[in-house]
A and B are shown apart, each in its own frame.
Chain A
Amino acid sequence: MQKERICSATDIPDNGMKTYEIKGVKVLVANAGECFYAYQGLCPHQDVCLDEGYFDGSVLTCHQHLWQWDIRTGEAMGLAEAPLEKYEVEVSDGELFVVQSSALKAVEMLKDVSAATLSRLEQLAKREEYDEGAVVYEVNDPTDDLYVLESGRVEFTIGREDRTRLAGFMLRKGEVFGWAALLEQSPRRIAKAICHEKSVLLRIDGGAMLEVLEADPASGLVVMRRLSELIARHMSGPQNG
């Protein structure tokens, strides 16, 4: 999505929100007093319209199962299991415009990373397109790179030859996989990653990413903390590492 006009600032009252459709994509715009925010219009849980939920000026709640987000960042709060995809909002002459941001900004693991470090990571990221059925990596491949999903869908299988089993899938912009690239003790892939449909991935060299994080230990600590949470979430089943 390029920069798109969405509405006039006066169209949305204080502490109010509205959904607009831009090129077939639903975008929620919320007015938090002095500041406007724009997010994906459908709940990441079960695609319910977020404008039917509750907004008190700081917290957005989906009415269906009460997932909640911080309106300033889109970060998940309380019961929510996923953040909201954020769009940058620009206001000029009383008109609101939204701009789609890079998938890296949607990465939960990188949410509190400093702007300078994030832009260095952006420089490391290579944007790659994969066709349906393309293999991102095989079992036992070296774990050099980490991947961020920008669009499409990636599935993981474990096991060899005809004894394989699906071990999960990813379909949200900003989801990270192949995180073993950040772990020293995991030199080999334990799962195979296949694009189930045409997909766009950001590929980041794990070693280079660690160097960037070492240069900014405060950000690095946040990333490592988030990484351990992520791994814990997948622990109960075969991992997607």
Chain B
Amino acid sequence: MKIQVNARNRTHLFETEAGAGEKILHAGLMRGIALPYECASGTCGTCKARLVSGDISDAWPDAPGRKYLKAAGEFLMCQCSATTDVVAEVPAFVQLMETGSCVPLASKGCIVATQMLTHDVMTLDIESAEAIDFDAGQFMLVGVSEVEGMRGWSMVNFDRHARLLRFLVRRKPGGVLSDWLFADGSRTGAGVDLYGPLGHATFYPSLGKDLLCIAGGSGIAGMMSILARAEQDNYFERHDGNVFFGVRSMKDVYFLDEFTRLRAQCGNRLAVTVALSDEDPPDGLDDEYPLIRFERGFVHEVAARQMQQKLANVMAYLAGPPPAVDASIRMLLLSRVTADNIRYDKFS
């Protein structure tokens, strides 16, 4: 199918695979057209467009992101595919991706390992049939044939031409893919569909700013990728890094050994704080993990306390459940960090 996207500054032309249900957003991004999106999974409404002519099929008519649609004919490019040639209007400036950006692709993959980290969090290793180049902080869409729709998961690792992608998945109570993944019996060997990389909350060593990472729960996934990239580049010899990892209680904590290793490797300019919202840090923890700080409180409050006077030259990376990300955004804006120094992923 031929797709024409009328943007405010120009018209973009590309094709989608007929009959394959390829999403309009996916097809455009794969051709290097920087169509607007955020979650790529039907919740945020950022990818909205208006149908000018042609027919589309909506894979998820109940998508929560549809609440942002107002005018007749508006649809979510991340959920809709073309069934005829389509002309759509996107009321935004749409450029081509900058050279050097990681252009997404569709690939097949296979779950090669899983490991439970806590009662409701696992790491999941997926081997992709095709090598994938991604930026630290990006995510992939992952789908399995038994479950409708794809899910966004952030990469934990950082490697060039990666065949192995590591994800960190929290079990969402009642979540469809969660129930599939955490069901009794291993999912190792299961085939998956992959699309990506996606996401704008990326880190490059040329950034030249202090790093501030505030993660609610599994939001720590993308931060680990950022820290891996920073470590590979000796970034913390030149810049400060402050990582805040918020969880409810000690039974929800993981990665303490990895944080200890990173701290030992990267030196004193990197600081890691675990914020516990529901309990005081137990006695003896400081002795067990002397390189990590433990504090009681919501992660954005703990970060606000520790970062006083230290926000002048930061780039802030935020990820996790939307309320946690929103609380951190509010905290940073009210501390006069400007929006162009805040990058976030809401795990909506």
Decide whether A and B assemble into one complex: yes
Report whether A68 and B339 are in contact in the complex, using a CB–CB cutoff of 8 Å: yes
Number of interface residues of A (CB under 8 A): 31
Instruction: Give A28 to B70 CA distance when docked, in angstroms.
Output: 20
Q: Which of B9, B38, B68, B70 contacts A237, CB < 8 Å?
A: B9
Interface 1/0s, chain B 92-107, versus A by CB < 8 A? Answer: 1101100000000000
Report whether A78 and B338 are in contact in the complex, using a CB–CB cutoff of 8 Å: yes
Tell me if A77 counts as interface (CB < 8 A to partner B): yes
Within 1-49 of B, Cβ neighbours of A (below 8 Å) are at: 6-11, 38, 45-46, 48
Report whether A236 and B339 are in contact in the complex, using a CB–CB cutoff of 8 Å: no
The listed residue with most B CB atoms (<10 A of its CB), out of A63, A64, A166, A240, is A166
Tell me if B340 counts as interface (CB < 8 A to partner A): yes
Q: A46-B68, A81-B93 are in contact. Are A66 and B10 (CB under 8 A)?
A: no
Within 54-99 of A, Cβ neighbours of B (below 8 Å) are at: 54, 56, 59, 61, 63-68, 77-79, 81
Q: Interface segment, A167-175, A198-206, A212-220?
A: A167-175
Cβ–Cβ < 8 Å partners of B336 in chain A: 56
Interface 1/0s, chain A 23-43, versus B by CB < 8 A? Answer: 000000000000000000000
Instruction: Give A79 to B329 CA distance when docked, in angstroms.
Output: 14
Report whether A167 and B10 are in contact in the complex, using a CB–CB cutoff of 8 Å: yes
Main secondary structure of the interface of A (DSSP, over half): loop
Interface 1/0s, chain A 162-200, versus B by CB < 8 A? Answer: 000111111100000000000000000000000000000
Q: A47-B70, A233-B93, A236-B95 are in contact. Are A168 and B10 (CB under 8 A)?
A: yes
Instruction: Give A63 to B329 CA distance when docked, in angstroms.
Output: 9
21 residue pairs A–B, Cβ–Cβ below 8 Å: A46-B45, A54-B333, A56-B336, A59-B333, A65-B46, A66-B339, A67-B339, A68-B338, A78-B338, A78-B339, A78-B340, A166-B11, A167-B10, A168-B7, A168-B9, A169-B6, A169-B8, A171-B91, A236-B10, A236-B95, A238-B10
Chain A residues with CB under 8 Å of chain B are 45-48, 54, 56, 59, 61, 63-68, 77-79, 81, 165-171, 233-234, 236-238, 240
Chain A to chain B: the 10 pairs with minimum beta-carbon distance, closest first: A237-B10, A66-B339, A78-B339, A78-B340, A166-B11, A168-B9, A237-B9, A236-B95, A78-B338, A68-B339
